[in-house]
């Protein structure tokens, strides 16, 4: 059995009203690196669940163990606050209705004080959605506005990955 990561943050990804894509060097002080890569800028204290929407196709070698892997950069003064992120998904197979609701929200909370300002982070969300090979999946990834005391900075999301196992 092997574990695979499928990148899902890309040209099919559309930000909600508020988040935006920007070069990293416009958001942090990047003195020794180029920093021109794009990141999705998410406010960690939104009034509503804001992030991005997109889609992907479940690969032929998918067996199970779905996980969302979030990679990014912490942007702000860290304290004891949590960073709350969530994802909802909907997988559809051939001959299934398009107009149906997403599965239940899957969430993760991680302590901002585990990082310093401008640190790279990697966090995961275990996904409870039932998916099958060849499903077309729509997703909504976002900062969860209903979490406890939110981090007052931003996160710069540099990658979202659908991680899974094969046989």
For residue range 8-59, list pLDDT tens digits in order.
Answer: 998 889 999 999 999 999 998 867 777 789 999 999 888 889 999 999 999 9
How confident is the model at residue 155, as a pLDDT?
Answer: 94
CB neighbour burial string for 122-138, b if at least 16 within 10 angstroms, e if fewer: ebebebebebeeebebb
Q: Give Dmax over CA atoms of the chain in angstroms.
A: 52
Q: Measuring CA to CA, which residue among 101, 162, 92 is closest to residue 134?
A: 92
How confident is the model at residue 70, as a pLDDT?
Answer: 97
Cα separations in angstroms, 90 against 55, 74, 83, 99, 140: 9, 29, 24, 10, 9
Prediction pTM value? 0.92
**Average pLDDT value for residue range 93-107:** 86
Residue whose token pair is 């004080």: 113
How confident is the model at residue 81, as a pLDDT?
Answer: 84
pLDDT tens digit sequence for 68-82? 999 999 998 888 888
How confident is the model at residue 27, as a pLDDT?
Answer: 92
How confident is the model at residue 47, as a pLDDT?
Answer: 85
Residue with more model confidence, 162 or 110: 162
Q: Is the pLDDT of residue 100 over 80?
A: yes
Query: Considering the domain 3-26+36-165 in this protein, what is its CATH number?
Result: 2.60.120
Q: 31: left (phi > 0), else alpha (psi -120 to 50), else beta?
A: alpha
């Amino acid at each position: 059995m092997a574990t695979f990561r499928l990148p899902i943050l890309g040209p099919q990804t559309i930000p909600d009203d508020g988040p935006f894509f920007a070069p990293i060097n416009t958001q942090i002080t990047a003195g020794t690196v180029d920093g021109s890569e794009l990141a999705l800028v998410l406010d960690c204290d939104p009034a509503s669940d804001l992030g991005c929407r997109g889609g992907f196709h479940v690969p032929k070698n998918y067996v199970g163990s779905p996980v969302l892997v979030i990679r990014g950069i912490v942007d702000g003064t860290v304290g004891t606050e949590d960073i709350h992120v969530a994802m909802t998904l909907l997988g559809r197979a051939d001959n299934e209705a398009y107009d149906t609701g997403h599965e239940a929200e899957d969430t993760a909370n991680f302590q901002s004080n585990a990082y310093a300002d401008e640190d790279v982070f990697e966090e995961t969300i275990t996904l409870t959605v039932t998916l099958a090979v060849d499903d077309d999946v729509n997703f909504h990834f976002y900062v969860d506005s209903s979490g406890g005391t939110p981090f007052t900075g931003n996160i710069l999301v540099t990658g979202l990955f659908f991680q899974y196992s094969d046989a």
